[in-house]
Structure 1
Amino acid sequence: MLLIAFLVLFFCHGLSSDRDTGTVFYTAFPENVAFYDPVPHNISLLLTAMYSNTNITVTIKGINFQWTNSFNAGVTFELPLPQDAELQRERISNKTVMIQSNSMISVLSVTRRQNRIQTKIVPPWRRMGTSFHGPASIQRMPNVSDPLYSMKVTVINTVKKNTIKVLQGGVVTDQEVADSYQIVQFNITGSSSDVQIKSQAIVAVLISHPCLEFYNCSCYMAVIQLQPDAMLGNGFVVPPIPVKDDSDQPDLLVISDQRFALLQGPPLFNGSVQESSALVAIDPALGTNNLQLTFSTNTSLVLIGPYFIINVIPQSSLGACFLVHAVMNSPRKALLIVDTNQRFDVHLGKNAFSPSLNWVPISGTNLSWTVVQLNRSTPHIIWHPSTQMAVYVSDSLSATVWNAAINLSEQPDYSGCSLKYVTPFLLNVSGTWAESLHNCISPSAEMLSISNSNIQQQMAQNLEPSGDPKEAWIGLRRRLLNEEWYWLNRNPVVFTNWAANEPKGSMDGMCATVSLGPSGIFSWHSRSCCLSLQAICTPKKSIFSI
């Protein structure tokens, strides 16, 4: 059975263009054995440095564990953790795993039990929150009343004393006060299909089941990291879900903090407006088609099938560069979802994927998807030079569960993985095109090259339209020999935003400007390079080593 869920969140913070890297992380390892079948297993962290001279410290106060080391850019280190770092069945624990660094890193938690591996991206502190929604039960699991066999919510508190509440059906069913860096575990019981977690201060939330993923007559715990409500979205695309028979067809759980309506998609619900949650079975007739769903408000979307659960990520954002780890020499598959017209430019390391890949169009969208087998012994960088995409990876041998790959960068770049969110700025000194080029370089920047639509949009978001200056230089000009346009950063001229009747002939202009007028469309014009204008500059980028 193959379940594929789409897409990846988009979150931009400060000077960072990444989603999954940061300098402060908190996580925990829920008990990873069915309570009736204890089997020895290993837990570890995969730590990857984005920049050289990165110092990383891992602390677990509850077991007096501390580790520190320094790494260069691009280095991944697997840190084995003591087995007693894993949570037991206590309600409150001091086994919070805290990861701190002086520079940007990514963190992946790994649990291995027998031949089964489960990985989970540890989100940086800025992607934690105070309100979360998730599933409260798995409808197709056996009806076992023992709380040890129920869904479990693990709440990881951070720096402040915190009151944490669990709500089902809008009613508080459990609550606890947690001190700084404590963990609280809640067993979820009852008939409600969804659960809500609310706290006074920032927390991270995991939801797990001790016997969820079923394979070869054995069951294994599954854990998902809930996204804060503030990062949810209202648009989702679910690619094909091949199943063995109709009984394997997953259910769809939609959760919101208010009533919602389905604005786009097949008629899944009875009536146009739903309560704050709805659990529906997907019609088997839709199993070979594609679901593109748009709701009237932000929601959490969860797919629940026999022995699997996947938190579907909103369509609102994608990434441009992803890190896929080789985990304990285990085979891994990657699911790629990208604009159909850009599918042949997806890269694995320095080279594009083979054009012979079997890309499958997602009906009703401009997207296509494919699955590739990756080498099991080395990490992989999957990236696209000109558009955003989604990458999911499978941990399990049966490929039943797909998790989002580590998103290193959201900004497409022909050079590779651009790690720094660079904000274009208007130089306050006027000059010719050549003088402005020098003036941009002086403060360790460069004249802006708008080589794709994302950069154009980024510029428009950061520069307010104005009447003065009306135009500014950009890093686009003609070659003297053949008069072809070229970007200073050597990216191909594929995307353009010329104004009407532009560009004019070379006699009228060899250099390019962007309009800053009140219309706000930031169109381009060809101008004489000798005009005296301000320029749009951008800080120099940092490219992750491939």
Structure 2
Amino acid sequence: MVSYGKDFITAFPENTGYFYWYTSCSSLRITALHNDTNFTVHFNNKQTPSSVLQSGQTVLFPGTAKVYRLGSSSNSIRITSEKDIVVHSFSQTDIGEDTTPEKSVQSHVVQPIINLGKVYLIPRLNQSDLIQTFNGSLPPFWSQRYSSFKLIIINAEDTENNVTIFKSISGSVQEEKNKLSSYQLLQMQADASLIKVESSHKVAVILTHSCLEMTTSCKCNMIVNQILPTQFQGQNFVVPYIPGIIQSRLLMTSNDMSASLSHNNVQLQPSPSGFLSLSDQTESQYVKASGYVSLTLISPGLIFEVIPENMFAACYLLQFYSDISSTKKALVIAETGSKNNVHKQNIPVTNTQWTEITGTKYSSDESGCLVIPGQYEVQSEPLSWAESLAHCTSLQKQLACPTTEDIQMELANTINTTEEGWIGLRRSLMSTDWYWQRQTPSSTSLSPSSADYVHWADGHPQEILKGLCASLLLNQDDEFKWKSAKCCEKKRPVCYTPPIYLNP
């Protein structure tokens, strides 16, 4: 799962801060992964003129409408792009009239439509249980309508969508059916009775609270959590230690009623409200589920889903907010054996204090990255070796150079035909040594390098008069061995697109 894409849909939930009359602002932060990225924002059957971003550039699109009322509306916001982008939703309410007003702030990564689904399990949250769990008290004038969580369901497709809401009331499951037109949304009350959302087409589901009050001092936080669909459930989770969070609880959701959660082989026992506690909250913890589950970490003012181990990735784009805090940190969890390979941009992360997570292969650290991996492609027209080199370069690619065993294996896992193809290996007439010759789109000069790794077929390389260039047997049966051949022979070029890294 990756958080970049070309098509997104979201909405701006209500953010009241303390009271309605304070200044509130919302925005979408759109960041491009590639140069010359055209994107368009669609809202209420209208669209803004297309804008162009360069790699690593971020633009703010101001919020035009919040979802205040229950029921259906057209206040969804859709972002489409020709190239990959990342979208963050940001909301802030300034509270107070002095020179340093307090802020009710919330931001979250908007998931691309490719990550959305048709089935969502909803964390069964009851505000009064939640407040009492963290030793708070119900605020004055508390009411179910204006103080409970809300659920926003957004139709992510340009078609009518049948949405079914499942509730558990007095031990029986009740269904509530709704229809949403193209890109329409539905906002409804969300309490502990709400258990599941199913739809005929993809939807985005946002759990939100406009002003979750956890203390008696009339302070509250906006809560926004974009729920992930059931296809992203898992069994193994690293629950991160977050500095500044003194107390937290876990909430597990699953279709498997018998599923349980364990830590250090000890089963965690839920409270009457379903909350699970970890004994040590001063470091990251590894927990296992007996079935496929979703896991939500909850603390005063913070609710977010813990991603399972099967969703770990090697690349993240982080957006920091300079107007909120001068201290910017990210919590990184990496395999212990690879922690020294963690990079920020293209610079290794150093001078960090890693802490091994007990019983796992991971370490955590407070501290982006490969965007598109390299790709091999066998061209259709047979050419000479020199023509193949020029052809790959004209496509903004290079002639494949499997210079190590790992690269050779990567190439072998990508292609499989019954022919031969040219690779970027040739022989020196002067010394008779084999060397790699590359020509990349960013350079018009040839860059030779010695061939320290070879994968010759039996009987090869032949004597110099029988072949100055190297070809690749393009099938599994021949183990993708190399052969020496005359450079004027016609073979299919094996072109390689180098990986793209994000270097703003």
- Residue matched to 1:148: 146
Alignment of 1:146-225 (within 5 A): 146-158=144-156, 159-169=158-168, 171-190=173-192, 192=193, 195-212=195-212, 217=217, 218-225=219-226
Partner of 2:336: 340
Partner SS for 1:79: strand
Partners of 1:157 and 1:260 in 2: CA distance: 30
Q: What corresponds to 1:426 in structure 2?
A: 378
Aligned match of 2:369 in 370, 383, 395? Answer: 383
Residue pair 2:105, 2:222 contacting (<8 A) in 1 also = no
Alpha-carbon shift at residue 296 of structure 1 (Å): 4.2
Q: For residues 447 and 60 of structure 1, what CA distance do their matches in structure 2 show?
A: 45
Match of 1:528 among 484, 487, 503: 484
Shift in Å, 1:50 = 3.8
- 1:201-350, aligned counterparts within 5 Å? 201-212=201-212, 217=217, 218-240=219-241, 248-256=247-255, 260=259, 266-268=265-267, 279=274, 281-284=276-279, 288=283, 290-293=285-288, 295-297=290-292, 299-327=293-321, 329-331=323-325, 332-350=328-346
Number of aligned residue pairs = 463
Which runs of 5 or more structure 2 residues have no equivalent in the other structure? 95-102, 133-137, 441-446
**In 2 relative to 1, CA 449–210 (structure 1 residues): closer, same or farther, beyond 3 Å?**
farther
Tell me the residue number matched to 2:99: none
Do 2:251 and 2:295's aligned partners in 1 also have CA atoms closer than 8 Å? Answer: yes
Following the alignment from structure 2 to structure 1, what is the Cα–Cα distance between the partners of residues 407 and 71?
48
CA distance in 2, matches of 1:213, 1:450: 59
Take 1:205 and 1:292, find their aligned partners in 2: how far apart are those partners? 26
Q: 1:286 to 1:198 in 2, by over 3 A?
A: same
What is the rounded CA distance, in whole Å, between the counterparts of 1:487 and 1:296 in structure 2?
52
Of the structure 1 ranges 333-342 and 434-443, higher mean CA displacement relative to structure 2 is found in 434-443
Matched with 2:135 is none
Q: TM-score, normalised by structure 1?
A: 0.69
Tell me if structure 1 keeps the 8 A contact 2:29–2:89.
yes
Give the Cα separation in 2 of the matches to 1:330 and 1:150.
Answer: 27
1:487/1:171 Cα in 2 relative to 1: closer, same or farther (>3 Å)?
A: farther
Rounded to whole Å, the distance in 1 between the matches of 2:36 and 2:305 is: 36
196-205 or 138-147: which moved more?
Answer: 138-147
Q: Relative CO higher for 1 or 2, CA cutoff 8 Å, sep ≥ 6?
A: 1
Tell me if the contact between 2:332 and 2:365 (Cα under 8 Å) persists in the aligned partners.
yes
2:24 is the counterpart of 1:41: yes
Q: 1:125 to 1:240 in 2, by over 3 A?
A: closer
Deviation at 1:269, TM superposition (A): 5.3
Describe the shift of the 1:352–1:61 C-alpha distance in structure 2 as closer, same or farther (beyond 3 A): same
SS at match of 2:49: strand
Separation in 2 of the partners of 1:500 and 1:258? 57
Q: Quick one: which of 59, 68, 73 aligns to 1:93?
A: 73
Q: CA deviation at 1:206?
A: 0.5
What is the CA deviation profile of residues 248-307 of structure 1, one whole-angstrom value per residue up to 9, with x for unaligned ones?
24224142367657799633257xxx9xxx94523415864631536544x322222344
Name the counterpart of 1:20.
Answer: 4
Quick check: 1:239–1:362 contact (8 Å CA) kept in 2? no
Give 1:220 shift.
0.6
Contact 1:118 1:222 in 2 (8 A): yes
What does 1:102-141 correspond to in 2, within 5 Å? 102-114=82-94, 115-137=103-125, 139-141=129-131
Q: What corresponds to 1:366 in structure 2?
A: 361
Cα distance in 2 between the residues matched to 1:458 and 1:448: 11
- Picking from 41, 46, 56, the partner of 1:58 is 41
Q: Which range moves more in the overlay, 210-219 or 147-156?
A: 210-219
Match of 1:284, SS state, is coil
Judging changes above 3 Å, is the alpha-carbon distance between structure 1 residues 287 and 280 closer, same or farther for their aligned structure 2 residues? farther
Q: CA deviation at 1:442?
A: 4.6
Percentage of identical aligned residues: 25
CA-to-aligned-CA distance 1:295-322 (integer Å, 9 cap, x gap): 544x322222344322111322444443
- Does the aligned pair in 2 maintain the 1:208–1:221 contact within 8 Å? yes
Provide Cα deviations, 1:101-159, integer angstroms capped at 9, x if missing partner.
Answer: 34433322110112233212222332222111231205432476613222211011242
Q: Deviations over 1:408-452 (max 9, x none)?
A: x264xxxxxxxxxx6422234556765643443354432335689
- Find the aligned partners of 1:262 and 1:475 in 2 and give their Cα distance: 53
- Which residue of structure 2 aligns with residue 447 of structure 1? 399
Q: Distance in 1 between matches of 2:406 and 2:274?
A: 37
The two structures, once aligned, show a CA RMSD in angstroms of: 4.5
Name the counterpart of 1:30. 13
1:42 Cα deviation (Å)?
Answer: 0.8
Aligned to 1:68: 49
Report Cα offsets for 1:23-76 as digits up to 9, x if no partner: x322111111268665321111212334444443323328xx753243241332
How far apart are residue 326 of structure 1 and its match?
3.7
2:444 is matched with which residue? none
> Which letter maps to 1:324?
L
> CA 1:107–1:453 in structure 2 vs 1: closer, same or farther (change >3 Å)?
farther
- In 1, the alpha carbon distance for the partners of 2:338 and 2:404 equals 13
User: Do the aligned residues in 2 keep the contact of 1:151 with 1:188 (CA within 8 Å)?
Assistant: yes
TM-score (norm 2): 0.74
CA distance in 2, matches of 1:215, 1:511: 75
Structure 2 partner of 1:403 = none
How has the CA–CA distance of structure 1 residues 120 and 453 changed in structure 2, closer, same or farther, with 3 Å as cutoff?
farther
Change (3 A) 1:59 1:327: same
CA distance in 1, matches of 2:300, 2:210: 14
SS at match of 1:77: strand
Q: Distance in 1 between matches of 2:83 and 2:306?
A: 30
Counterparts of 2:145 and 2:75 in 1: how far apart (Å)? Answer: 22
| Long gaps (5+) in structure 1 | 1-9, 12-18, 373-381, 385-408, 412-421
Structure 2 SS opposite 1:323: coil
Structure 1 residues 485 and 267, CA, compared in 2 at 3 Å: closer, same or farther? farther
Q: 1:228 to 1:283 in 2, by over 3 A?
A: closer
